[in-house]
Structures are given as C-alpha cells and as structure tokens.
Structure 1
Amino acid sequence: MKTNKAIFKELFREIFANPVYNESAISQYFTLEYRQEVDGKVLNYEQFCKHIIAQQEVVASMTFEFQTLVEEGNILFSNHIATVKMKSGENLEMRVIGEFHFVNGKINYCNELTHMISGDSSNKDLGSRH
C-alpha cells in the first residue's frame, strides 16, 4: 500500500504538473466531499476542479520542490515551492504550506496558505483562482 506521501507526490505530477485537464485523475486523488480552505477562500470539489481548469488556462508548466513533508496518521503537512512558467512567459515562484487530510487514500480536506515569492502580483491568487 502506498503511503500518503507517495500519493501526494504522485498527484502533483498527474494533476498540477500535467498541462492536460483530467477529471478522472482528480477523482482518483480527491473525494467528492473534498473541501479546501485556501487563502481565506473555501472551495468544494466542483470549485476545486474549476480551479485546476483556471490554472491550466494560464500555466505553461509547473514544478515542485517539497521542502518538508510530514505524515502523521491520516494527516500530511507540506511546505513546498511551486515554480511556475506562465503561458505569457512570466515566471512565478510560490510557497505553499498546507495540511491535507486523507480518507481511504484520497484527500478529503486541505487547509492551505500560498505566498508569492516572485512574480507579478496579479497572479498572487493562482493558488485559489477558479
């Protein structure tokens, strides 16, 4: 059985680093009851799917550096850097700090803060845009 850390890294490759929207991949990693609290906004599963679509409309590529991943029971804490190349040619760097709750190998809840390290401030909502 895969650890939550392994599932987490896998979903980032398959969903966020993948330029092609794939809702079946999202449903493989997130429950339909998924709830995300991010930067003062609350997203349900449907809004999260729209968030992925909104990102893919403007992002050319995205890579991740996981600085800290701590797993305790069904909870995973991540502190990671997202390096983003926008379709406009702009480059962004975002720090993401999040707490993720797993239920039966899928993420059911996320509490996340994103902080733009570098890039145009018009994209500071990239972590919650939908």
Structure 2
Amino acid sequence: MSDATQRVTQALQAIVCNPEHDEAKIREFFSPQYRQYVDGESLDFRGFVEHMAKLKQLAESIEVTMVAIAGQHQDVLTHHHVAVSKKGGGVSHVDVLAHFTLQDGMIIRCEELTRLIQGAAEDSSLGHIR
C-alpha cells in the first residue's frame, strides 16, 4: 500500500469512525485549503468540519468497510461502505465512491458520490449534511 493510500485509510478510521468530533484530529489529515464535492454539494474546510460535527451528533457509531482502494502518486480512489448507527435508532448503509487528492501528506480535495443502500430516505444526505 502506498503512503497516500495508507494516509487516506488512516484518515477515514481516525476521523469518520471516531465517535468523538475532534477538529484537531481533522487538521492532522486535512489541509486548511481542503475542498470536498459530494453529490453535487461543495464544502470547504470549515464546511467539512461542520459536516463531521453534525454527523457525530446524529450517529451512535460509524463503520467504514473498504471494498477497494487504488493509488497513483498523490491520487487515491476508494470504494467503501459506511454503516451509520443513529442515536435515535436505525442503521443506514451508504455506498461511497471517492477520489482523494493529497499534497505534502495532507488531503486537499475529495470528489465523492454516495448512494443510500439501506435506511431512511432522509439519510441520502449523510455524505454532506451540516
């Protein structure tokens, strides 16, 4: 596994799967110039931090299962599944295709498509909720 693919895998585990919202941890992996494009929605770094905070408010736990990962130079492509157990009850499963770009070991961009596989219809926005 390349350094870039390891870095993305570490970021998903440390930030998405961590039950606590930790902006300092986000800053360890994501550049302040970070941009994310999810299902036609655009988030800058601040928007991403807000997104993660909201997700942690809604979720009891989040699990990421990597289906496939490939990297070349500073680009990493992932296909992963996200299982979100919600505090109010219920579980949603989301299929994610993502293209991460890194610079100097930091994630600077992510282009992502998500598809709700199982869960409430309103959970189709879990990938960009704020």
TM-score if structure 2 supplies the norm length?
0.96
Partner of 2:59: 59
Matched, 1:98 2:110: no
Q: Specify the alignment match of 1:19 in structure 2.
A: 19
SS at match of 1:127: coil
- Percent identity between matched residues is 25
SS in 1 for 2:19: coil
User: What one-letter code is carried by the residue in structure 2 that aligns with 1:12?
Assistant: L
- Residue 28 (str. 1) matches residue 28 (str. 2): yes
Confirm or deny that 1:111 pairs with 2:111.
yes
Shift of 1:6: 1.3
Question: After TM superposition, what 4+ stretches of structure 1 lie above 3 angstroms from structure 2?
Answer: none
- Residue segments in structure 1 that go unaligned for 5+ positions in a row: none
Specify the code of the residue in structure 2 equivalent to 1:81: H
Query: Number of paired residues?
Result: 129
TM-align CA RMSD: 0.9
In 2: Cα distance, 1:20 partner to 1:63 partner: 13
Given the two structures, how large is their TM-score scaled by the length of structure 1? Answer: 0.96
| Alignment partners' CA distance in 1, 2:116 and 2:129 | 14
Shift of 1:8: 1.3
- Structure 2: gaps spanning 5 or more residues: none
